[in-house]
Structure 1
Amino acid sequence: MKRRNFIKNIGLGSAAAAFTVGQGIEALAADKIESNPFNLDYAPHFGMFKGHSGDDLVDQLKFMADQGFRSLEDNGLLGRSVEDQNRIGQTLEQLGMRMGVFVVDGGDNWKVSLTTGKQEFIDNFVNTCKRSVEAAKRVNATWATVVPGFFERRLPLGVQTGHVIEALKRGAEIFEPHGLVMVLEPLSDTPELFLRHSDQSFAICKAVGSPSCKILYDIYHMQRNEGNLIPNMELCWDEIAYIQIGDNPGRKEPGTGEINYQNVFKYIDEKGYKGILGMEHGNTLRGKEGEQALIAAYRKADQFK
């Protein structure tokens, strides 16, 4: 599955708005986890703060911790060397940080799909789940993202759904003994994707019937596909194990689009959520200025108490 490249070129109008958000960030940027923590556990990804920390993975993690972030999200973990995976895991432990999701990436699953029921795709998925267990051990991960792939238009929808459920049962059998959770992510990137809605994901998780098969509720995608965010989260809450963030339109930091993130975060906090919220979005501004604006945006959205 080739994850989308969501960091886009920035327009002047958005840049001006983000600059306003970023004013006064200099004092906030020096806060440490222990002295000024966020109310919720937001997880940046590698590359988000390269302007301040450079290219080295360890230096980037240290900068994240210095700003008060307590977790990391790394979609591309499976593509990293064992050496880098070990460095990430060791550094997270030293900094007292958690590992968020990585992607169970077994190839171009945007087009090859578990909906087909074909053995070659099931075998590839199962083998990638096994590799994911080993990678998860190195970084002490709990969650791994799974996307079933595209529709198979030559099959009835119910048959496709059945194929996906059976494949996910195979994945759950691999993950359960290790306490790992695959989180299904409904997406909005193209209508060709099979998994697109929270209620659909809820029904599939119930059918799989495993603590190792839950929902990744990406607020950006769900705003695009169905809206009504808080009521829909409430309906599916029992199956939501992981949350991701991105404002809409634009898929940038909170406060740059139409979503009232203070209200959404307040709801999540009141539900007693102790998991990670992955910052799967781009920065509105480039360089250090954009990174400072991003941190300020999270400080503002996090002020819901």
Structure 2
Amino acid sequence: MARFAANLSMMFTEVPFMARFKAARAAGFRAVEYLFPYAEDKDAIAAELKARGLTQALFNMPPGDWEAGERGLASLPGRETEFHAGVATALAYAEALGCTQLHAMAGLCQPGVSRERQQATYVANIQYAADQAAQKGILVLIEPINSRDMPGYFLSTQVQAEALLEVIDRPNVKIQLDLYHCQIMEGDLTRTIDRLWGKFSHIQVASVPERHEPDQGEVNYPWLFDYLDAKGYNGFLGCEYRPRGNTEAGLGWFAPWAEKE
């Protein structure tokens, strides 16, 4: 049975962030994810999760200066100390929120820095994060992001991510398989799922090409949901999409899986 997590950075934005937990639970979700929790007190978030009976499925480690356009630190030479501090912050939040998965954003390709140097930095940083996270039973996820939405991002394809897993060589590092990004960059979603089986621990969904609810566009998500069920996928399906209009009005697709109180 598919387990969906509402992405509170994109969904239920009709209300303030801390009110989105209640809105997600009222809509029938039993889990949530979001980009970053660091603007809020971790104990306040934990209390809200407990009050609503929600599981924290995933969030990202600190990404650097997001407002200035930074999109992660893991592959940026010279920023290792900042990345390490971000790992500690993320793990403190993960422990408080009962979250067992953290995504480490790779960052953008740096002018004047060779790809080889960025990759070496990325591998070393992910290994560090994984070793720290392993002490707390937490997975570190790496996610390819398409080059149309995020030009210049260091990690953009599943093929690249799969090769990096071999070099990183840590059992608690997995792929965050975003089917929206994958469809744009590579397609062949079913065979990609088959090839990567056992190498990913979280899936995200959105329509292609507009990144709206997964009930329109070029991807047959109902078929993929059934396929994943049949294969025995037991992770979360993160709904990282921008609603076409009001969030609740667009949840007709979710009705078969909603667990309302």
Q: CA deviation at 1:97?
A: 1.9
Q: CA deviation at 1:154?
A: 3.8
Aligned mates of 2:220, 2:212 — CA distance in 1: 13
Q: Does 1:49 align with 2:5?
A: no
Aligned mates of 2:133, 2:226 — CA distance in 1: 32
Q: Does 1:175 align with 2:133?
A: yes
Aligned mates of 1:60, 1:114 — CA distance in 2: 29
Q: Does 1:117 align with 2:77?
A: yes
Q: CA deviation at 1:56?
A: 6.6
- Structure 2: unaligned runs, 5 residues or longer: none
TM-score (ref. length: structure 1): 0.75
- Structure index of larger Rg: 1
Equivalent pairs counted in the alignment come to: 252
Q: Does 1:299 align with 2:259?
A: no
Counterparts of 1:83-162 in structure 2, within 5 Å, are 85-108=42-65, 110=70, 113-118=73-78, 121-152=79-110, 154-162=112-120
Q: CA deviation at 1:177?
A: 0.2
Aligned mates of 2:26, 2:171 — CA distance in 1: 34
Secondary structure of 2:202's partner? strand
Secondary structure of 2:174's partner? strand
Aligned mates of 1:95, 1:271 — CA distance in 2: 30
Aligned mates of 2:230, 2:57 — CA distance in 1: 21
Aligned mates of 1:255, 1:230 — CA distance in 2: 18
TM-score (ref. length: structure 2): 0.87
Counterpart contact for 2:63–2:71, Cα < 8 Å: no
- 2:177 pairs with 200, 217, 241, which one? 217
Secondary structure of 2:154's partner? coil
CA RMSD of aligned residues (A): 2.3
- 1:257 pairs with 217, 221, 228, which one? 217
Counterpart contact for 1:142–1:180, Cα < 8 Å: yes
Counterpart contact for 2:3–2:236, Cα < 8 Å: yes
Secondary structure of 2:135's partner? helix
Aligned mates of 1:132, 1:96 — CA distance in 2: 22
Query: Between Structure 1 and Structure 2, which shows a larger proportion of strand residues?
Result: 2
Counterpart in the other structure of 2:2: 40
Task: Give a deviation string over 1:19-45, Cα, whole Å, max 9, x none.
Answer: xxxxxxxxxxxxxxxxxxxx3111113
Query: Between Structure 1 and Structure 2, which shows a larger proportion of helix residues?
Result: 1
Counterpart contact for 2:72–2:104, Cα < 8 Å: no
- Structure 1: unaligned runs, 5 residues or longer: 1-38
Counterpart in the other structure of 1:19: none
Q: Which one-letter code corresponds to 1:41 in the other structure?
A: R
Q: CA deviation at 1:255?
A: 1.5
Percent identical residues: 24
Q: Which one-letter code corresponds to 1:78 in the other structure?
A: Y
- 2:202 pairs with 242, 246, 260, which one? 242
Secondary structure of 2:103's partner? strand
Secondary structure of 1:86's partner? helix
* Residue range with higher mean Cα deviation, 126-135 or 162-171: 162-171
Q: Which one-letter code corresponds to 1:44 in the other structure?
A: A
Q: CA deviation at 1:195?
A: 0.1
Secondary structure of 1:257's partner? coil
Aligned mates of 1:184, 1:56 — CA distance in 2: 25
Aligned mates of 1:182, 1:142 — CA distance in 2: 9
- 2:192 pairs with 232, 237, 240, which one? 232
Secondary structure of 2:198's partner? helix
Counterpart in the other structure of 1:34: none
Aligned mates of 1:240, 1:262 — CA distance in 2: 20
Counterpart contact for 2:64–2:71, Cα < 8 Å: no
Counterparts of 1:188-199 in structure 2, within 5 Å, are 188=146, 189-199=149-159
Secondary structure of 1:99's partner? strand
